[in-house]
Chain A
Amino acid sequence: MTAPAAAAEHYLAAHRAFLGNGAGAAPAWLAALRARGIARFGELGFPTTHLEEWRFTSVAPIVATPFALPHGGGTSPAERDLEAFLLPGAGRHRLVFVNGRFAPRLSATAGLPAGVTAMSLAEALARDPERVRAHLGTSGADAASAFAALNTAFLADGAYVHVAAGTVVPEPLQILFVATAEPEPVVAHARTLIVAERLAQVAVVESYAGAEGARYLTNAVTEVVAGEGARAEVYRIQRESLGAFHVATTHSRQGRDSVVHVHPVAFGAALARHDLTAVLDGAGSSCLLNGLYLGDGAQHFDHHTVIDHAQPHAESHEYFNGVLDGRSRGVFNGRIIVRPGAQRTDSKQTNNNLLLSEEARADSQPQLEIYADDVKCTHGATLGPIDEKALFYLKSRGLGAAEARALVTYGFGAEILGRMAIPELRAQLDGLVRARLLGGGSAG
């Protein structure tokens, strides 16, 4: 048996154990969803670099490690260990998951406004399975991704946010997936479903973190559904352990005149692959993908995005900035599809990569598939060291060479953070970006 096939067999066996371990009590539709997931995973197997979509990203280190579901959920972190990953002064309500399992003791859901549901998926499945069923696993992500399919196969818990029609959630909701250091490498199939019904508004901060140095796998799927005129902002902060692997799918589907903003920020993990798909399935809808990745050492980040314009008069803006130091590598693939009939589409994509060392590397690939004739689509990518023109400009104003470099570098991150609407989060991320790019010093 080849290594990927043997690894796949490991997860198939784990799945049989999972079903025999109480998970079999699920409603029939959920059992069927899982069955489809494991079947699809079995068909696809782990991706290899022979596949176009995985050409630059080898999952061999993931394949080589038999990640297991944690026994009894594993150890529990202390509340103070989570503080660094939570928002100070904003968003009182939070759902915390330890190794993929809901941790009620670390969560806070009391006093949610009327019309707002934020609870574990397990609880939602028990209380209101039909409402969950309407959207869970409907994104179709499983069909394209073996990892997403595997996540669905093990679907038992996760985060569930539902905002009723016309309800505006005043504060951001926080979702934290944290991994603990376990004796054996563990996998968490983190799952999130966010539903904003007609004219609802919500901001969710979804964070991924782990015990420093711990070796684990986060295999995350987030589905976002925005109804007519709804607004959903998803801040996705990946701060995994540098020994960890992070594979994720974020899928959003939008109704007429809705707004979805996704801000994927990647700081952590040895290897992180994030597939983002945004389907603009309503006329007049608007989507922002605003991403930042900061790499050092041998970190590897891969963002594959698909913006699918299925209806007319919609707009999408996509900005991904990467700052890569050491031997780190950034991969960006940005596909924009404009379906027949999606006239007056306005789509803009940029991917800028700053290479701070000779050994850092970036690959950027736009893919436009346009089947309508009255559209505006622009894309641009840059990769290279710091712009000498910018350095001279700053020096000509009195800034020293080191300070000028730091300012331009920091600007790469700050540009992305500037599009975020939660001041407390922006300030927190700004601190992290400064620490990474300015070596902990301050540029003012």
Chain B
Amino acid sequence: MLEIRGLRASVQGTEILHGVDLTIRAGEVHAIMGPNGSGKSTLAQVLAGHPAYTVTGGTVTYEGKDLLGLAPEERAREGVFLAFQYPVEIKGITNAYFLRSALNAIRKHRGLEELDPIDFIGVLEEKAKAVELGDEMMNRPVNDGFSGGEKKRNEILQMAVLEPRLAILDETDSGLDIDALKTVANAVNRLRRPDNATLIVTHYQRLLNYITPDFVHVLADGRIVKSGGKELAHELEARGYDWLRPEAAAV
């Protein structure tokens, strides 16, 4: 589904990713862990097409297409979804209105009929239940005045409504209390299907107690320095990241 080869990216002239290689197949859940400043969020943002980052080398192939050649909205319509670390407020636009606009943009791209407000509200209510967001949140402006936990759950709600093929969760667990974390994890687990994939970017092993990854990768200094199964997450939790640094330096 996703093949990243030698990806290099910089922000404001400083290279953050120094050649990332990663392969994700349909049905898999991958976790990328790493210390602060390792480039985890940069990788997530580059995959979503954030304009602040410049790709300086490498390739990203998504479902046979050159992902880096697509505009952010085209990536979204092709099924790439980024759950933001810091979701953005959109004043004056209700959650329901925003989500329907987004879903319809994606449906249109796929040749499906657009949903009218009545049909959409049915979809939304069902999905909102899954992430335990009340109906009143649907009529509030997007992320405006939401608590940190509400914002993160709202990201997962969007994911549930838009049904991406590749979901990237950028530190969705940061700042969540344990109940909210379980809610988010349950929702992600429910959305798992053989034909989609999830990339979880996280600083902590905690979320992986609830979402079992197939692969865990350690990103340090802009490169993946170690990959393994879910047991690697436990090892990182026990030993921290420092033991991996010399390896990073040796590459």
A binding-site residues for B, Cβ under 8 Å: 352, 387-390, 392-401, 403-404, 407-408, 410-418, 443-444
Which of B50, B72, B141 is A418 in contact with, Cβ under 8 Å? B141
CA–CA, A411 to B90, complex, Å?
Answer: 7
- Considering the complex, give the chain A residue whose CB is closest to the CB of B107: A398
B109 contacts partner chain A, Cβ-Cβ < 8 Å: yes
B220 contacts partner chain A, Cβ-Cβ < 8 Å: no
| A408–B90 touching, CB < 8 Å | yes
B84 contacts partner chain A, Cβ-Cβ < 8 Å: yes
| A403–B105 touching, CB < 8 Å | yes
CA–CA, A390 to B51, complex, Å?
Answer: 12
B152 contacts partner chain A, Cβ-Cβ < 8 Å: no
Q: Which of A387, A388, A418 has the most CB of B within 10 A?
A: A418
Which of B48, B90, B104, B117 is A396 in contact with, Cβ under 8 Å? B48
| B106–A396 touching, CB < 8 Å | no
CA–CA, A352 to B109, complex, Å?
Answer: 34
| A410–B92 touching, CB < 8 Å | yes
Q: Smallest Cβ distance from B104 to chain A, in angstroms? A: 7
Interface string of B94-124 (1 = CB under 8 A from A): 0001101111111001000000010000000
| Selected A-B contacts with CB under 8 Å, 5 pairs | A390-B88, A395-B49, A395-B76, A412-B91, A417-B92
- Considering the complex, give the chain B residue whose CB is closest to the CB of A399: B105
| A398–B90 touching, CB < 8 Å | no
Which residues of A have CB within 8 Å of B76? 395-398
| A415–B51 touching, CB < 8 Å | no
Q: Smallest Cβ distance from B199 to chain A, in angstroms? A: 15
Interface string of B59-88 (1 = CB under 8 A from A): 000000000000111011100011010011
CA–CA, A294 to B76, complex, Å?
Answer: 32
| B162–A398 touching, CB < 8 Å | yes
Q: Smallest Cβ distance from A414 to chain B, in angstroms? A: 3
CA–CA, A394 to B103, complex, Å?
Answer: 11
- Considering the complex, give the chain B residue whose CB is closest to the CB of A407: B93
B158 contacts partner chain A, Cβ-Cβ < 8 Å: yes
Which of B73, B91, B92, B97 is A398 in contact with, Cβ under 8 Å? B73
Q: Smallest Cβ distance from B240 to chain A, in angstroms? A: 32
B binding-site residues for A, Cβ under 8 Å: 48-51, 71-73, 75-77, 81-82, 84, 87-93, 97-98, 100-106, 109, 117, 141, 158, 162
CA–CA, A408 to B117, complex, Å?
Answer: 20
- Considering the complex, give the chain B residue whose CB is closest to the CB of A408: B90
Which of A389, A395, A408 is B71 in contact with, Cβ under 8 Å? A395
| B93–A398 touching, CB < 8 Å | no
Q: Which of B91, B102, B106, B109 has the most CB of A within 10 A?
A: B91
Q: Smallest Cβ distance from A156 to chain B, in angstroms? A: 41
Q: Smallest Cβ distance from B83 to chain A, in angstroms? A: 10
Which residues of A have CB within 8 Å of B51? 388, 392
CA–CA, A413 to B141, complex, Å?
Answer: 12
| B90–A395 touching, CB < 8 Å | no
CA–CA, A400 to B101, complex, Å?
Answer: 10
Q: Which of A388, A410, A412, A414 has the most CB of B within 10 A?
A: A414
Known pairs A390-B88, A395-B49. 8 more at Cβ < 8 A? A352-B91, A397-B158, A401-B71, A403-B105, A407-B101, A410-B92, A415-B141, A444-B97
| A397–B102 touching, CB < 8 Å | yes
CA–CA, A239 to B7, complex, Å?
Answer: 55
Q: Smallest Cβ distance from A321 to chain B, in angstroms? A: 8
| B92–A413 touching, CB < 8 Å | yes
Q: Smallest Cβ distance from A17 to chain B, in angstroms? A: 49
Which of B77, B81, B89, B93 is A414 in contact with, Cβ under 8 Å? B93
| A407–B98 touching, CB < 8 Å | yes
CA–CA, A101 to B29, complex, Å?
Answer: 73
Q: Smallest Cβ distance from B60 to chain A, in angstroms? A: 16
CA–CA, A394 to B101, complex, Å?
Answer: 10
| A415–B105 touching, CB < 8 Å | no
Known contacts A399-B101, A399-B102, A443-B101, A411 near B91 by CB under 8 Å: yes
Which residues of A have CB within 8 Å of B82? 396
